[in-house]
């Protein structure tokens, strides 16, 4: 396998997880919860599913779509955590728009660019690290969203990880 092949495989793996698998997991959780549950917090220092979803969207918009993709975006990070109410439909709309813009970023991204300097040099050294950082960030918060959903709706999303990976082509058996 050549370096070019490895870059293409890495880019596709990151694209699939950032734009398909993890958003599908988040959407499955949003589908299970009512609007009150979306904004439930076990305490004031914790985040709700709604806050975590807004935070994932803010991070993807800022680091991926703006940083790597060059798209316009002005982040309001404090609002991602201070919002305490929003309709499920609006939250899903924000997630869908974020993912559509991420799809556009990946569609315009050449694998050869992965070794180029980071768009966030205070955090990373290469564009690959930018993407890898976004994937890890989204994965961590998706896990939190799944955990909270399981706490609030026992048995509602069993086997979610395997199902989304299988259904979206991220699992090779």
Would you place residue 166 in the very low, low, confident or very high pLDDT band (cuts 50, 70, 90)?
Answer: confident
Vertex 105: Cα angle to 104 and 109 (nearest 5): 115
Rounded mean pLDDT of 61-80? 97
Class of residue 51 by CB neighbours under 10 A (exposed 0-12, middle 13-18, buried 19+)? buried
**Does position 153 have pLDDT exceeding 90, yes or no?**
no
pLDDT per residue over 1-42, tens digit each? 898 899 999 999 999 999 999 999 999 999 999 999 999 998
Here the tokens at position 71 are: 């798209």
């Amino acid at each position: 396998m050549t370096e070019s092949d490895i870059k293409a495989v890495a880019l596709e793996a990151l694209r699939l997880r950032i734009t398909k698998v993890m958003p599908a997991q988040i959407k499955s959780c949003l589908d299970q919860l009512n609007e009150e549950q979306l904004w439930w917090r076990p305490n004031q220092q914790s985040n709700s599913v709604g806050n975590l979803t807004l935070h994932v969207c803010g991070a993807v918009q800022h680091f991926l779509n703006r940083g790597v993709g060059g798209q316009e975006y002005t982040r309001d990070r404090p609002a991602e955590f201070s919002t305490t109410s929003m309709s499920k439909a609006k939250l899903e709309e924000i997630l869908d728009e974020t993912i559509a813009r991420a799809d556009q970023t990946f569609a315009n991204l050449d694998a050869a660019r992965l070794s180029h300097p980071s768009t966030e040099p205070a955090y990373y050294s290469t564009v690959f690290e930018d993407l890898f950082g976004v994937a890890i960030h989204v994965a961590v918060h998706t896990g939190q969203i799944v955990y909270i959903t399981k706490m609030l709706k026992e048995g509602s999303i069993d086997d979610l990880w395997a199902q989304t990976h299988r259904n979206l082509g991220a699992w090779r058996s």
